[in-house]
Structure 1
Amino acid sequence: MSVIARNRVRVSGADDGRPMVFAHGFGCDQEMWRLVAPGFEVDHRVVLFDHVGSGRSDLSAYDPVKYGTLDGYAADVVEICRELALDDVVFVGHSVSAMMGVLAAACAPGLFGALVMVGPNPRYVDDGDYTGGFSREDIAALLESLDSNHLGWSAAMAPVVMGNPDRPELTAELTNSFCRTDPDIARQFARVTFLSDNRADLPGVRVPTLVLQCTADAIAPEAVGRYVHEQIPGSVLTRLAATGHCPHLSAPEETTAAIRAFLG
C-alpha cells in the first residue's frame, strides 16, 4: 500500500504554494485541523494525514517495533513529503507531533523550511531542574489507568487536555476521538509519547521555529514552552490567550493568526 493510502493523506489548496504539513497529536486525527488548515489553502499547499494507528489510517500497517519510538512516526512524515515531491515544507505539529517534526527535520534537513510547534513537550516527566509537568508517579498512574479502562481513561483525560470546562462540546469531541482509537495501539502510543525524552534534539534544530504556548496548558505548561524556546536557536515563542492544550480547536482564529504572523 502506498504511503498516501496508508496514512490517508489529503492534499488541498494552492498547487504552487509553499507546502504546509499538519500533524495531529496523541489520540486524535487530521480532523482536529479542520478549523485551521483551510485558512491556509488560499496561498499554501495544505497536506493533512493520520499517523498509522490513528484516525482512518491503515491499521494493518501498524508495526509495534517501528512505532516503538517517535522516529518511526518521523520517518512517515519524511516519506509523505518525498512521495508528494515537497520542499521548503512548513511542518505544523501539535503536542507529541511537534517532536516528530524535530526528528524529521534532523533526518531530512533539506526538506523542511520551518517548524511550528503547538504545545510541544520534549519530556513530560519532571527531571531534576527540568519541569515537564508530570511526576514519574503521575505518568505511571496515567498509563495504568489507560491499560485498565480505555474508555474511562478517555472520559477522564479529555477535559484535562482540552482545558475549556465552559465549552463541553470540545471536551466531548476529544473524548470521542480518544475512544475511537484502537485500545492496544493507544496503550503503546501513550507510552511512546509520555515516556519520550527529546530534549537533546532541540539544540540541533536549524530552521526557523515557532513555539505556540497556551495559557493554563496542563499537558505542556508554560515552563516547558519557555524551555523549548530557549533550547532551539533563534526560535520565536508566542503565548496565546487560548487556554488548554488544543488551541486549533478552542481558538482557531488566534492560532491561525499566530502562524501567519510567524510565516510573514
Structure 2
Amino acid sequence: MDVERRNNVTVTGNPRGRTVVLAHGFGCDQNMWRLTVPALVDDHRVVLFDYVGSGRSDLSAFSPERYAALDGYARDVVEVCEALDLRDAVFVGHSVSAMIGVLAAGMAPERIGALVMVAPSPRYIDDEGYRGGFSAEDIEELLASLEANYLGWSATMAPLIMGNADRPELGEELKNSFCATDPAMARVFAQATFLSDSRDDLKSVSVPTLVLECLHDVIAPREVGAFVHRTIPGAELVTLDATGHCPHLSAPEATNEAITDFLARLQ
C-alpha cells in the first residue's frame, strides 16, 4: 500500500526545519489546519494527512476491525512517519488525535520527539474521581443518535462542538465536514473516540508536551486539561482565551502563538 496516497499526505514548508505533523480530529480532515500552516511554514517542514475514512484518504483501505480502536489510527500515524522517514517530529493532535499521538509516540518513540495536544481528552465518560464531561448514558445516547441519523446528528452537534454561536459560519463548516464523511466510517471512528480510555497511556509520555485547553469547551472541560497536565510528567498547560472545541479555527492567532512559542523553546 502506498501510505502517502492512502492517507492523502501533504508536505510543505521549510525542508531544513524540524518537522511538524498536524493531525485532525473526528469528522474532520487536514483542511482544518489551514489557518495554522502559514504560521509554521517559514521555519518548519509541515506534514498533513487524512486518517483512513476521512477527507481525501483512500476509502478502499478502510477496515472496521483496524479502526475500531485508537491503536489503528495510531498505526496510520506511525506508517506515515515511516514512509517519510521522519525522526524527532513534533506531533500536533487536535481532540482525539492528541491521544492518538500519545499512542503513536509509544509505538515509535524515535519518530515523535514532542507533542502538542489541542483540546485533548483521554476519556470522555465520567469516572470515580474523574470528570470527562459526559455520563455513560450521555455517550450511549450520542452514539445511538449518530447511528440512527448521522446527517441530523451532524447538524445538531457541530454548532455545539464548535461553540461561538455569534459566528455560525464556524459551526456550518464543521457540520459540512462531518457530513462529507461516510456515515459507516464515521460511526466506527466515533465509537473508537467516545468509548476510549487513554488515561493510563498519559503516564508513559516522556517527550516535551504542550497541552492547549479552551476557557469553555463542551467536549473537553477544563478539568480534563488539568488532568492531562498533571498526569504527563513535565507537561506545560496553556489556557487559550477561546470558546469551543476547535481553537485552531475559532481563535487561530492565540492557538498559533502558543504552538510557535513551544516550538521555539524546543530548539
SS of alignment partner, residue 51 of structure 1: coil
Alpha-carbon deviation of 1:188? 1.0
* Alignment-derived partner of residue 118 in structure 1: 118
**Letter paired with 2:137:** E
* Alignment-derived partner of residue 245 in structure 2: 245
1:192 aligns with 2:173: no
Query: Which contiguous aligned blocks of 4+ residues in structure 1 show a shift greater than 4 angstroms?
Result: none
Query: CA offsets per residue over residues 180-209 of structure 1, 9 Å max, x none?
Result: 110001111110000000000001000000
* Alignment-derived partner of residue 178 in structure 1: 178
1:44 aligns with 2:52: no
After superposition, where does 1:4-153 map in structure 2 within 5 Å?
Answer: 4-153=4-153
- The answer to whether the 8 Å contact 2:39/2:260 transfers is no
Cα separation, 2, equivalents of 1:37 and 1:114: 18
Cα separation, 2, equivalents of 1:122 and 1:233: 15
Cα separation, 2, equivalents of 1:238 and 1:111: 25
**TM-score, structure 1 normalization:** 0.99
Alpha-carbon deviation of 1:94? 0.2
**Letter paired with 1:236:** E
Cα separation, 1, equivalents of 2:84 and 2:253: 28
SS of alignment partner, residue 238 of structure 2: strand
**Letter paired with 2:117:** M
Cα separation, 1, equivalents of 2:112 and 2:188: 28
SS of alignment partner, residue 25 of structure 1: coil
SS of alignment partner, residue 203 of structure 2: helix
Matched length: 264
Cα separation, 2, equivalents of 1:109 and 1:227: 23
Query: CA offsets per residue over residues 88-135 of structure 1, 9 Å max, x none?
Result: 100000000000000000011121111000000000000111000000
Cα separation, 2, equivalents of 1:203 and 1:188: 27
SS of alignment partner, residue 218 of structure 1: coil
Cα separation, 2, equivalents of 1:259 and 1:39: 9
Cα separation, 1, equivalents of 2:155 and 2:86: 38
* Alignment-derived partner of residue 230 in structure 1: 230
Cα separation, 2, equivalents of 1:38 and 1:214: 22
Cα separation, 2, equivalents of 1:150 and 1:5: 27
**Letter paired with 1:263:** L
Alpha-carbon deviation of 1:82? 1.3
**Letter paired with 1:93:** G
| Aligned residues with identical type, % of pairs | 66
- C-alpha RMSD of matched pairs (Å): 0.6
**Letter paired with 1:87:** R
SS of alignment partner, residue 164 of structure 1: coil
Cα separation, 2, equivalents of 1:86 and 1:186: 29
Cα separation, 1, equivalents of 2:148 and 2:95: 24
Cα separation, 2, equivalents of 1:88 and 1:154: 36
Alpha-carbon deviation of 1:38? 2.1
SS of alignment partner, residue 204 of structure 1: coil
Cα separation, 2, equivalents of 1:149 and 1:63: 22
Cα separation, 1, equivalents of 2:188 and 2:63: 11
**TM-score, structure 2 normalization:** 0.98
Please, which runs of 5 or more residues in structure 1 have no aligned partner? none
